[in-house]
Structure 1
Amino acid sequence: MTGLEAVLWDMDGTLIDSEPAWIRAQGVLAKRFGCKWTHADALALVGSTMEQTVRALQDAGVELDEVAVQSALQEDVLAEMHRGLVWRPGALEIMRELCRAGIRQAIVTTSPNTLAQVVVDALADEVTLATVITGDDVACGKPHPEPYLLAASRLGVDITHCVAIEDSPIGLTAAVASGACAIGVPHDTELEEAMDRTIWPTLARRGVRDLCELIGARE
């Protein structure tokens, strides 16, 4: 084991508190078509691909094609993000520390490039990302491990030497399946304890040393 080589970050709900924006956008669209759409319906989609979200809304009665549903959701969420990003507790602090330590970082998200770029731009002055994997880059989104495996491939590192940090059951499933050292930090949804992942209640007061210890424990 060569130690920690990269940290792979989920975006929505892990780096930024954007899930409320997605939930509101879904609710607005469902209301427009008089559909029944509950908070539980929205929470069930946390971490899902855009295709899965679009299909769920169409099944609920949103009478728009896939492109139109996706565009409506993205426009609402993008407008909310441009009004200001809300960072999850401890996320920026760890990212800055990793940057100072020379450990590469990547974003691995199911969101499209347009939304991920807002976060990349917000980080640019303090944190340089080695790569960004979005829902536009993969054939199979989370819970499939492809997004994480693609990130490791682009970085030229062994996925087992990477930490992947997620907030949702769907994302955590992808992280575990990829072979990464998976950390779950629950936000809007509960995460189950298991031997194949580590659950932290928050990223606050966590740092590079904590991440390195988790990789070291896999030896």
Structure 2
Amino acid sequence: MATSSSADSTVIGVIDQKFEGGYVVTVTMGSEQLNGVLYYAQEDSVLLPAPSHNNNNAAAASLQKKKRRRSKSEIKRRNPALPKPKKTGYNFFFAEEHARLKPYHQGKETDIGRMIGENWSKLTESEKMVYQEMANKDKERYLKEMEEYVEKLKADQVIVDAVPLRQWPPQQDTDIQMEEAEAGEGSFDMNAMSLMDSEERFSY
């Protein structure tokens, strides 16, 4: 998700879950971590002026501006090879409550999100601990998968950087063979000369 930085703090947002009306997100602001819900903008909430001879250009400009705003708000797709982000206790609670409340509040995602937030705030610490344990297990899963992902990246990098073994050029192979042949002929001549010398000595 988007990351913004300033001289005082850094804000990092992560999409934990997507549902029909928006996203469940975790936002880290410095040392503080917040959980929340982002809802889709209601497209029918923006009323365009009725077209006329005088305001056609204004209506077109307003529509174009709306399209640009929506395109900027689109969230970039995550790398599918990356492990799924770790969930917080609130994320597990939200998913559980959303599945329970949705059949009774069809098409009211905003109200469902508000009710889930209220229900979470009413939980005792011991009740929240149940979901925190789920989050701890999911954190272990995330760390393990991330470690495997990093190791795979390193292995892929080694393969990419590998240099093939140097091969001798054909000309060098030919030169070596010629040198070996010449050396062999020299040895044969020396042996032949020794044999001739011995025959001459024997004839005398």
TM-score after normalising by structure 1: 0.23
- Whichever structure has more helix as a proportion of its residues is 2
Structure 1 or 2, whichever has the larger Rg, is 2
TM-score after normalising by structure 2: 0.24
Tell me: higher relative CO, structure 1 or 2? Use CA pairs within 8 A at least 6 residues apart.
1
